[in-house]
Structure 1
Amino acid sequence: MVEPHFEYTQVLYAHRQQSNLLVMEVHLKRFGSSSKPITIQLESSFKSQSDDIDFQNAPDYKGGRHIFGQTISSEIPGGIRPFVHLIWTPVASTLTLPPDQSQSSWVFLVALAGSDESAKSCFDTGLGLIDTGDLRPSHMRSWAELWKGSSIEVVGAETLNRALIGCMFYLLSSFPSPSEEFAFGGVSPGGLSNGSIDEDYHGHVFWDQDTWMYPSVALFYPSLARAVLEYRVGTLEGARANAQQMGYKGLKFAWESAVTGHDVCPEDIYAQQEIHINGDVVLAFQQYFYLTQDLEMFKEGRGSEVVWGVADYWVSRVTWDPSDQQYHIKGVIPPDEYYFTVDNSVFTNAVAQSSLQFAVELCGLLAQTAPPKWQDIADKIKIPFDPERKYHPEFDGFSWGYSVKQADAVLLGYPLALPMTPEVRRNDLQVYEAVTDPFGPAMTWGMFALGWLELGESEKAQKLLQKCFRNIQTPFQVWSESADGSGCVNFLTGMGGFLQAVLFGYTGFRVQKEHLAFAPLIPQDVDALSVKGVTYLGNKMDWLVTSAEVSVEVWKSGSKEPSALELVLNTGTTIPLIPGQSVTFLRQPGQIRKLNSGFSCWPV
């Protein structure tokens, strides 16, 4: 066997700290005593042209090629057409390691921005980091800081652990740095659009962002959660126009959203009927408030306009049925997209009820008077239920045994927290597990697993969670949308569902109005669960869960003074959480809430 006389390494990354920079590094290293030059060839498929942007050449900038252009079309007639500027280091066709050198490196940059000034500034920053030798080190420091502030890992199940780390990495890669001033454009199911028409959802933003990706990120990083909310606030005018075009009041958030908030879905039926997106958006605002109690987001941040605008939409969208004395929502597509133009989708109606209730609550917090209709509809909206079989049909006319595309009615338990008995929760899981398409979207089985964990059946939950591993493609833990490898590449929605199944399933975390509930339960093949950086009311918490015990430690984060917290177990024991001091107790349910000095404390 002939030993190689050199090593070639190519490193590609989007800079964590400088979000407008893409980097390619090429490294050559000589082995042995050979004194011959080593030359490698590079091939680039990059072309300075686009089907979507009318690019023009600009003068070279500091050795970099520069093109710029406007998008060819706008989202709406006469709407904005953003500019794109691209400056990049030309890639040489060959690279040579001279005979007198043992190793050498080359760095190629791409700076991408919306203006000439910004693109040049980003390129300058990259060149400066190269000169100081700090390009990749600064990138790695930023990631290290991010990992320090948030992590979820398990002991004793390496395959699961790799999957969790991969999910966190890809989700965080799709968000700006927590400290970065960045015009956030939302997250698409596949992240940055990959490919041409009809591939990877065009880079558009769906309910996937708010329902599937957001909850885990929000639990660690309120600033990133707020960025999601601010994106939705930025599309208010488009949402208002969507509602008006369909003859309704208030706001109708786009099923497929981009820059303006006008619906850019290529098929009208989805834009018109997948209206549960409105409730999904409000649920994200509600979760953020319960985690932070940040009322400023709802005042100066215009979050109240979102919540109240959606409530007004529901008022205009429901119809009163005198025969059953309930409000109905007719002609919708539920999350289960196998069915069109159905009446009273149980998820749609339940998420509408939830958003109306939060709208009323927010009025009280902001000293406003809620229209009586909001509470009336919340109280009287139809939530389909079969009293004989004791389960929730997906919609009016749904028959036992119908096939199902993805998680739908099972989402009533989590994240909607619709009140129901354990028997009904169990029936919902059993009914829909039996008829769910085994090749449906990747996020589905995590929600079934989470439901069984709620019911205390960790081993059944683990079997369902195992189904998710069929969607993970080695060696980089990239998720495919479907188990057969088809669909969206790097499916962030599936990662978000899987991450929630463990993060909210194994811990039992539930973000509620006045506390963060927990009910830890881990399966037999997991020795321990470590969750670091959980953020609640300005505090950071580290959790360690084993089969027998739970440890919680609070530590300060940031300059703002956090709320003092206490831990209340369901047995009645109350323990103050003091920063820097770890509290350990036998595994059992309880809650974290603001410290209440009226309670006594007992040692555990």
Structure 2
Amino acid sequence: MLGLLSIAAVVTIVLTTRGGSNAAEDIGSSETEDISPASHVFSTYNLPSNDKYMPSIGNGHIATNIFSDTVYMNGLYNGQAGYSHRARIPAWANIRLNSTLTHHPYSPVYSLDTREGVFKVRVDRERSVVTQRIYAHRFYTRAIVNQIKVEAKTHYDPNFVNQEIWIAIKLMPGPDSKDIAFQEPIPQILNGRTIWSSCGLTKESEDLTYQPLPIEVCAYWTSVPDHLVVPQHGSRVFTFVMTADKNKTVAREELIKVLQEDGEVLFQKHVEHWEQLYQQGGMDIEGNLELAKIVNGIWYYFLSSLPSEESFQPLDRFFGLSPTGLARGGTFEDYEGHNFWDTETWMFPSILLLYPQYANKLLQYRLDTAYVAAELAKITGNKGYRFPWESAYTGVEVTQPCCPDVAIFEQHISGCISFAIRQYLATTRDEEWLKHGGCDIVTNIADFWASRAVIDYNTGLYDISNVMGPDEDHRNVNNSVFTNVVAGYSIYVSCLCKDYYMAKDPDHWADIAWSLALPYDQELDYHPQFTGYKRGEPIKQADAILLGFPLQYAMNHTTRLNDLTYYESVTRENGPAMTWSMHTIGHLQVDDEKKAEAMFNMSYKGFVREPFKVWCELRRPLSGAVNFFTGMGGFLQTLMFGYAGVSIHLDRLEINKPRLPPNATKFTIRGIKYLGANLTLEISANSTKLSVTSLDDNWRLVLNDGKYNITLAPGITVILPGSGPFTVRSEPWKDCKLPTDIIGQNYLRPIGT
């Protein structure tokens, strides 16, 4: 799945992640209960005994885990090549109420409000109610804000006449950074308040060719007293701020502007920007509070790591989504903030349908580093673009020296990027994006795979050798079924760019894609994972079953079922979270709802830690990477593409056999974006409805409900009869005459209908 210790020698041991030294949970790290009845609020009286299960706050530029001594910033890395990792900034935003640090007669309530994007601590004291709000501001994106609201109780107590209310607090920024050489903090007075500032340079560049100079980062923060004082009958909001940026002036101006805002106005402005995000789209589950909370948590964590759409200062370049989000990534266990195939294969599809503007930004990260991918292809003897298995600031290969096999052989990431582009173009028809870099990346990935395919004159088919599929327990194999199909799709999708070809040979590319070898066992009617795969060999995670979904490769019903059944039996139990999400979708596709429910339960139970719905890479009692966005992305796909039955094709959006998730009474996906339209799919026990909020004038959409064609219009709601498939189409966009979703047509195997 990721850049893990994937050589065969480690199959038999428990340490299955790159961060194996911390794969097992700490003894006694019991979970605490979520006491909130609201689906968007997670509350508890007791914090997790293990800090790594604390939630995060972020806004795509800056992020931290609650009560952590570390802040991370988008695009800020330290370390050479394979040792590059997110650079740690001390948490000059980590302010604690003393009543939450030591034993007091009070019972704090800790809450994460995913709708408002804020973590709250509420302490009901003898004479006052104290509420702390911690959030990464969604508009003032360089700022992490701490607000402490003290409300005096109105009842009269003669023992405290004319006595002020004192609230003890503490700033806990942690030790000096080992990644950034910060200068000694400098104090200054600003509008009567003491503020501090410090700038520093990262200590090591990732690659001297592409990053000849270290990165400067500057932080500003407000002075924090030992205690706060409020009159006996008063009420007050105290605001403390930390800002950070690569530009000193930006960080300073942001701090000044934030401190000029009224405390409540500042908070409401943050909440309004979160509300605007959720108005664009969402997934609502009724009847199953557990699932509703998990889904709300996932979208909160995703959006916390994605940039704001509007901000006080211009946004910095975006550096992608890593497997544990922006709030983590300084350690080997948390994948160091690197980008993998996880982004395009696991997180991207659900983000694309609800927030296509963010899908565009994720692809832009690949465009920004494409020139480095060109060099990697060149030095490995190939044409076009070969993207590294792990990338960070510069786009060079940053896989740790521990794991050379994944860097050498796991080349399918280039195909996964191209497949994500295929989905993006299918749902947006973004011609401007094609003109301004899109076609460059599409055609060069196609050129890479064409140069990797070598014809076998004995079979007349093209082989792709010396690769590793998603199953990292098998390295240096030939004709990985997953790799060959995404390679073929990469070549096919180049048809969309034929108007932009220069010295390319698309007809030859099509011949290669059509004739790629695809292992298939005719007697057992299933797909061996690669040429020479021995039946019965254990595998690490979902691989060959990904042909059915997300690749939607055409095959017979029996082949699909056999793939699912067989690979379930040989997948190791301590594999990563997202495997069982794909098995869930597969069994829904073959109409085995009972088996699908069992796989669905396996896809999240044991991976989600209470009370803040933090995902782990491995099932309890193991943990692996935390907070695991990859597993979250797989889970969202079970709902959107499994139970809701949505699928993306080059020429249509399809809804097939929509169903309710287990124990749910209603399932609604709001804000599905297709060719500029805004659609809502509502599934209940007795009906399925598709509603149209708005349409793009450039694309006329027609819904076929299996019997009639219905021209869609704003405000219309269509009841979808039966199980479908139902299709939403527009007029053809590109004149692509290539075969539909078939790779290796000439190979001996049944062709799906």
Both structures adopt the same fold (TM-score exceeding 0.5): yes
Task: Tell me, yes or no, if the aligned pair for 2:323 and 2:629 is still in contact at 8 Å.
Answer: yes
Greater CA deviation, 190-199 or 285-294? 190-199
Structure 1 counterpart of 2:139:
17
Compute the RMSD of aligned alpha carbons: 2.2
Higher relative contact order (CA 8 A, sep 6+): 2
- 1:42 paired residue among 146, 164, 169: 169
Structure-2 change in CA distance of 1:108 and 1:296 (3 Å):
same
Task: Tell me, yes or no, if the aligned pair for 2:494 and 2:506 is still in contact at 8 Å.
Answer: no
Note the C-alpha offset of 1:445: 1.0
In 2: Cα distance, 1:387 partner to 1:481 partner: 35
Give SS of 1:486's match. Answer: coil
Matched to 1:33, the amino acid is Y
In 1: Cα distance, 2:293 partner to 2:418 partner: 32
1:262 and 2:396 correspond: yes
Greater CA deviation, 532-541 or 360-369? 360-369
In 2: Cα distance, 1:451 partner to 1:466 partner: 14
In 1: Cα distance, 2:698 partner to 2:643 partner: 26
Structure 2 counterpart of 1:518:
655
- 1:457 paired residue among 589, 592, 597: 592
In 2: Cα distance, 1:297 partner to 1:358 partner: 15
Task: Tell me, yes or no, if the aligned pair for 1:453 and 1:521 is still in contact at 8 Å.
Answer: no
Q: In the TM superposition, what whole-angstrom CA distance separates every residue of 1:316-372 from its partner, at most 9, and x where no partner exists? A: 222222222221122222111112112211111111011111113321587996433
Matched to 2:363, the amino acid is L
Matched to 2:203, the amino acid is I
Give SS of 1:108's match. Answer: strand
Matched to 1:87, the amino acid is Y
In 1: Cα distance, 2:140 partner to 2:410 partner: 36
Give SS of 1:414's match. Answer: coil
Note the C-alpha offset of 1:4: 4.2
Note the C-alpha offset of 1:58: 6.2
Give SS of 1:9's match. Answer: strand
Task: Tell me, yes or no, if the aligned pair for 1:363 and 1:369 is still in contact at 8 Å.
Answer: no
Matched to 2:306, the amino acid is F
In 1: Cα distance, 2:682 partner to 2:329 partner: 42
Give SS of 2:642's match. Answer: coil
Task: Tell me, yes or no, if the aligned pair for 2:538 and 2:571 is still in contact at 8 Å.
Answer: yes
Give SS of 2:704's match. Answer: strand
Task: Tell me, yes or no, if the aligned pair for 1:193 and 1:200 is still in contact at 8 Å.
Answer: no
In 2: Cα distance, 1:166 partner to 1:500 partner: 15
Structure 1 counterpart of 2:275:
144
Structure 2 counterpart of 1:94:
227
Structure 2 counterpart of 1:52:
179
Greater CA deviation, 560-569 or 403-412? 560-569
Matched to 1:299, the amino acid is K
Structure-2 change in CA distance of 1:204 and 1:548 (3 Å):
same
Figure out how many residues of one structure are paired with residues of the other and give that number.
590
Structure 2 counterpart of 1:177:
308
In 2: Cα distance, 1:92 partner to 1:332 partner: 58
1:213 and 2:347 correspond: yes
Structure 1 counterpart of 2:646:
509
**What are the within-5 Å matches in structure 2 for residues 438-587 of structure 1?**
438-467=573-602, 468-484=604-620, 485-519=622-656, 520-523=658-661, 525-556=663-694, 561-570=697-706, 572-587=707-722
Note the C-alpha offset of 1:59: 4.4
1:291 and 2:427 correspond: yes
Note the C-alpha offset of 1:179: 4.8
Greater CA deviation, 339-348 or 279-288? 339-348
Note the C-alpha offset of 1:595: 6.8
**What are the within-5 Å matches in structure 2 for residues 156-171 of structure 1?**
156-171=287-302
In 2: Cα distance, 1:70 partner to 1:237 partner: 26
Task: Tell me, yes or no, if the aligned pair for 1:566 and 1:595 is still in contact at 8 Å.
Answer: no
In 1: Cα distance, 2:496 partner to 2:294 partner: 38
1:154 and 2:288 correspond: no
- 2:508 paired residue among 373, 385, 388: 373
Note the C-alpha offset of 1:373: 2.7
Structure 2 counterpart of 1:601:
none
Note the C-alpha offset of 1:547: 3.4
Structure-2 change in CA distance of 1:343 and 1:83 (3 Å):
same
Q: Which runs of 5+ in 2 are unaligned?
A: 1-104, 107-123, 733-753
Task: Tell me, yes or no, if the aligned pair for 2:661 and 2:667 is still in contact at 8 Å.
Answer: no
Structure 1 counterpart of 2:31:
none
Q: In the TM superposition, what whole-angstrom CA distance separates every residue of 1:405-461 from its partner, at most 9, and x where no partner exists? A: 111111111111111011111111111112222221111111111111112222321
Matched to 2:495, the amino acid is V
Give SS of 1:554's match. Answer: strand
Q: Which runs of 5+ in 1 are unaligned?
A: 597-604
Note the C-alpha offset of 1:269: 2.3
In 1: Cα distance, 2:141 partner to 2:582 partner: 32
In 1: Cα distance, 2:390 partner to 2:329 partner: 18
Structure-2 change in CA distance of 1:326 and 1:291 (3 Å):
same
Structure 1 counterpart of 2:458:
323
Structure-2 change in CA distance of 1:4 and 1:179 (3 Å):
closer
Structure 1 counterpart of 2:202:
71
Q: In the TM superposition, what whole-angstrom CA distance separates every residue of 1:169-221 from its partner, at most 9, and x where no partner exists? A: 11122111345663211010001253643131001111111111111011012
Query: Identity across aligned pairs (percent)?
Result: 34
Structure-2 change in CA distance of 1:547 and 1:366 (3 Å):
farther
Q: In the TM superposition, what whole-angstrom CA distance separates every residue of 1:550-595 from its partner, at most 9, and x where no partner exists? A: 11111127xx63522121023x311111101211132322111127
1:188 and 2:322 correspond: yes
